[in-house]
Amino acid sequence: MAGKAGFNPFEMARSQFDRIADMIDLDSGTRELLRTPAREFAFTIPVRMDDGTVKVFRGFRVQHNDARGPCKGGIRFHPQETVDTVRALAMWMTWKTAVVDLPLGGAKGGVICDPHNLSPREQEGICRGWMRQMAKLVGPLVDVPAPDVMTNAQHMLWMLDEFEAIHGAKYPGFITGKPVGMGGSLGRTEATGYGLVFTLREALKELGVRAESTVAAMQGFGNVAQYAIELYTRLGGKVVCVSCWDQKDQTSYTYRKPSGVQLEELRSVADRFGGIDPAKAKDKGYEQLPAEAWLEQEVDILMPCALENQITGDNVGKISKRVRLIAEGANGPTTPDADKELVARKVFVVPDFLANAGGVTCSYFEQVQSNMNYFWEKDEVLGKLDVKMTSAFLAVSELARKKKLFMRDAAHVIAINRVAQACKDRGWV
């Protein structure tokens, strides 16, 4: 998706896994099991459009591993969705649930479509069509979906309603990211962005840097980025630019304001997908720059919160020498060849499947609450999230220091060992 020509995210995910498998001397059977998704589904979704014609969309679900519990992973809508993207994201979800020690596995789903160009009724048709294809293959004890790129609480509710209609019973714990009034969890909207900043806060402590003295550049202005900006600025940090997609021009731009991005100000000129209106942003004093300008700013922290394949071997050299920390809100934003340069420069990287695990952690909380039919207050949810994210960060950081590992490698070692052990304990390998 959104990557350079020839980039294959699944091959990237596999190469990351293979490096760690070599490092921990994983046996050949377990290695083959974990580098291959357990199950893959690809299907067509016919939808009658508002003009009366029928359009056929392509849908996917990949269940990578369920040794530690039911599969868990989002469903994204994107015009450039590919099955290899979904495979990679499913594998990363397995490591993500494991590194924060949730009793869940990893999965991912998607539909090739662009919600920008679809009416609510057409989007509902895609959601219900996706569920009709998958209803016998997912469920609260099997595979629990959630929102992802360009999907939201309404999409999840349509899917839940279709699942319940097919099965003839109520299953509120089947899907997460639901509206709060329909079994969703308080704090879920903030969870991924806040979780990112909880790990960022701990990384700054480790570096001996006060948040108030730092400046950051952000890629993305969707849900993750917005709540990350909110909490980071509350800690005293300053975001000087955001880079995001422009639907009209079909490209990305960076919007820069040296005095600091004002969250509510930018929200007032953004659409529901996080796209910013260039003219309105200019009126509010933001300078419009090329897409990659966010990467080149003289800042202390970079937060990629958009899509995969954004920091690569081709552009990593553009990152300012001032940058000390990268906190990855997106999935797979940094390629292995870029990692080599970041290691050489001693940039502290909080890896994606640790940094952005706040979303799946809060999804797990929602799942538990829905299954119990008992709901926690927002402060309790966010408090539990802080404890879980901080604990996971400290475990990864401790291993990284002890074994002199890059943070991404340390996180992979913990996650892959946990999943491999579960497979062995079950007698699969």
Catalytic residue annotation = 108
- Compute φ and ψ for 300, nearest 5 degrees: -90, -30
In contact, 2 and 56? CB cutoff 8 Å? no
Q: Nearest Cα to 131, choosing from 105, 149, 155?
A: 155
d(CA 153, CA 141): 21
Amino acid 120 reads P
| CA distance linking residue 289 with residue 149, whole number of Å | 24
Burial of 114 (0-12, 13-18, 19+ CB in 10 A): middle
Q: How far apart are CA 215 and CA 275, in angstroms?
A: 23
- Residue (of 146, 220, 159) closest to 189 by Cα position: 146
> By C-alpha distance, which of 141, 73, 63 is closest to 357?
73
Task: Please choose, from the candidates 221, 238, 214, the residue with its C-alpha nearest in 3D space to the C-alpha of residue 281.
Answer: 221
- What's at 268, amino acid-wise? S
CB 44 within 8 A of CB 113: no
Distance from CA of residue 177 to its chain's centroid?
13
Q: Strand, coil or helix: what is 32?
A: helix
Q: Which of 45, 120, 119, 35 is nearest to 81 (CA)?
A: 45
CA within 13 Å, CB half, 80: 11
Written as one letter, the residue type at 27 is D
Helices (H), 62-101: 83-99
Residue partners of 283: CB distance under 8 A and separation at least 6: none
